[in-house]
Chain A
């Protein structure tokens, strides 16, 4: 089992007059950990809900393992969505929850779940609604990891978890995924923390796809150029500058899209090049000081994101 592939084609979801997803298309590679990044209200949860058949598309399609997930027992049996709420039986002890999952989920590994509960210091005799917020989230994580679904969708599951618990979660997720490769989608705000776990990244913004690529390629797209102001301006002329700072005669510009001989040209001009982390790139791409039109202009073109 390497996990389900997901194809999203021209997907639109409207809630009344609100367009949550506006004609988006992208793929999730099977057996890969993909980060789903976006600001609040960008459409992340809506997409995950459609992929898990919790909600219907207004138009367009999501194909999970080649099929429409809606009322599709085979595909749904292999899909596990864990939302912030944990998606568990809140008023039954955790041990009961585990028994229920064991019955319903053929891939659920009870031993793995019990080990994880211990790691995350959760008392299995307690009811989820009696746990602290962080512990309830942690139990959701246990369910998401131990279910070992071919398509595992984790929607902001780390909310309320403290740093040690989150790192325990990242370690457990990675270790379990290495043993049992499957498709995992991790939606998160904590880009700095999760970016090393990710092989692919999809960035949503205002219901549209800003970028969908492997994380390494995306990261290489951002570039800071630092040096004498006029040399910097000459260097970045004609390129997409998303930020510019000046301190005296020194300037730093952040550009999107690198060119193969950038390094040599920068050295010749006495400029210093730096990388832009995924988090900064995300902020530059999704922070729109001006109108919505600039946001749309910020979408990576196919050449840029290649």
Chain B
């Protein structure tokens, strides 16, 4: 864990952001303390504290004096909105760049996305009629 190239505190903050995004950490749920982080991952508490300070600044978590850190209400929605904004630049654009490099037509990429989306849609909402549900 935490072997990436980003500074450790950035990785810790990212992990908590992802947990909030996925719902693994719910609003008003208590987050591990800097001390727990430090002893669990064998890191200096100052590093963990730096990650938490960043998350407090962003309004993802908030501090209850003497109790600990908690996920802020609305943190998930806020993170989602931010990630949505950067989604096209960070995720879609590199896909197109790769496709261009490999000589894959944009239409092929779009067709693939459609196909996968339909598939995922069927898996999430199984069609009650038997012929559509057959794979």
Please list the residues of chain A having a beta carbon within 8 angstroms of any beta carbon in chain B: 32-33, 167, 170-171, 174-175, 178, 196-199, 215-216, 219-220, 274-275
Contact = CB atoms under 8 A, between A and B. Distances in A.
Interface of B: 5-9, 35, 38-39, 41-47, 50
A136 to B, nearest CB: 24
Given A171-B39, A175-B39, A178-B35, A275 B5 contact: yes
Secondary structure type dominating chain A contacts: helix
Contacts of B46: 32, 199
Given A196-B41, A196-B43, 14 more contacts: A32-B46, A33-B44, A174-B38, A174-B42, A175-B39, A196-B44, A197-B42, A197-B44, A199-B47, A216-B7, A216-B8, A216-B9, A216-B47, A275-B7
What's the dominant secondary structure at chain B's contact region? helix
A302 B35 CA distance: 32
B43 A197 contact: yes
B90 to A, nearest CB: 11
Contacts of A170: 42
Contacts of A275: 5-7
Nearest to B2: A196
The winner among B35, B41, B47 for most chain A CB atoms within 10 A is: B47
Contacts of A178: 35, 38-39, 45
A263 to B, nearest CB: 12
A271 to B, nearest CB: 14
A32 B49 CA distance: 14
Contacts of A175: 39
A199 B42 contact: no
B38 A219 contact: no
Contacts of A171: 39, 42
B101 to A, nearest CB: 11
A227 to B, nearest CB: 14
B47 A174 contact: no
Contacts of B9: 216
B89 to A, nearest CB: 10
Contacts of B42: 167, 170-171, 174, 196-197
Contacts of A174: 38-39, 42, 44
A216 B50 contact: yes
14 contacts: A32-B46, A174-B38, A174-B39, A175-B39, A178-B45, A197-B42, A199-B44, A199-B47, A216-B7, A216-B47, A216-B50, A220-B7, A275-B6, A275-B7
Nearest to A197: B44
A275 to B, nearest CB: 4
A216 B5 CA distance: 13
